[in-house]
Copies of this chain bind each other. A is one copy, B any other.
Amino acid sequence: MVDSKVYREWRNPPAEQTPERQLEEVTQRFINNLGRVADFFGFNALMGRLYGVLFLSPKPLSLEEMVEKLDSSKGNVSINIRNLERWGLVRQVYKWGKDRRDYYEAETDIWKAIGRILQERERKESQQMIESLNQSVSMLEKFSQQTEGDQAQMADFYLQRMETLRRLFQFGDQLLDSMVQGGEIDFGTASRLVDLDVDSSPDDILN
C-alpha cells in the first residue's frame, strides 16, 4: 500500500429513493468505510466491514446474518469474526433457549479495544525493534573499542545512526504507552529529542 488505494464507488440506484433505501445507503457507506480503515491499519477489509455491521446493529447477530449482510462466505466470516474477537473488538453473546447459534455484538468501548491493539500489536513491534537496536548498539560499542582504523570508524558511524533510530522508537514506545495508560505527551520536546541530526556524514569514511 504505497499509492492510496482506489475503492470502488457504488453507483446510486437510479430511481426509487425510498426511506429504506436511504438508510441502507448510509449504512453501506459507513460499513465500506470501516473496511477501508481496517485495511489501512493492517487488518483486512472484511474485518472492518464486519465490525461495521455489528456496530450498526441494535441487536447481536448470528454468523448467518452477517454472511447475508456482507454477501460473503461462511468460512470467511467465521475466521474474521474470530480475529475481531481476539482483538476485543467484538464479543460473543450467549443466548439460552433452543437456539444454539453464536451471536456477536460490537464492543462499543472502542478506546478499550484500541488500547489492546496498541499494547499487543503496535507496542510489540516497537519493543522488538528497540530490543534489536540495543543488541546492535552494545555489540558495536564493544567492537569499536576492540578495533582500530577504518573498521572502528565505521562502527562509530553505525552507532551514531542507530542511536538516532533507537531514540525514535523509544519515543514511539512511550507514546503508545501513554495512549494505553492515559498519560500526556508533548510533541514539542519529543521532536527535539528524536531529531538530533548532528549530521555527521563524514566524508573521510570510505565505503
Contact = CB atoms under 8 A, between A and B. Distances in A.
A58 B187 CA distance: 29
Interface of A: 1-2, 4, 19-20, 22-23, 26-27, 29-30, 33, 37, 40, 42-44, 47, 55-59, 83, 105, 108-112, 121, 124-125, 129, 132-133, 136, 139-140, 143, 147, 151, 154-155, 157-158, 161-162, 164-165, 168, 178-179, 181-188, 190-191, 194-195, 197, 199, 201-203, 205, 207
A80 to B, nearest CB: 8
Interface residues of A, dominant DSSP: helix
Given A179-B187, A185-B187, A199 B108 contact: yes
A107 to B, nearest CB: 10
Nearest to A58: B205
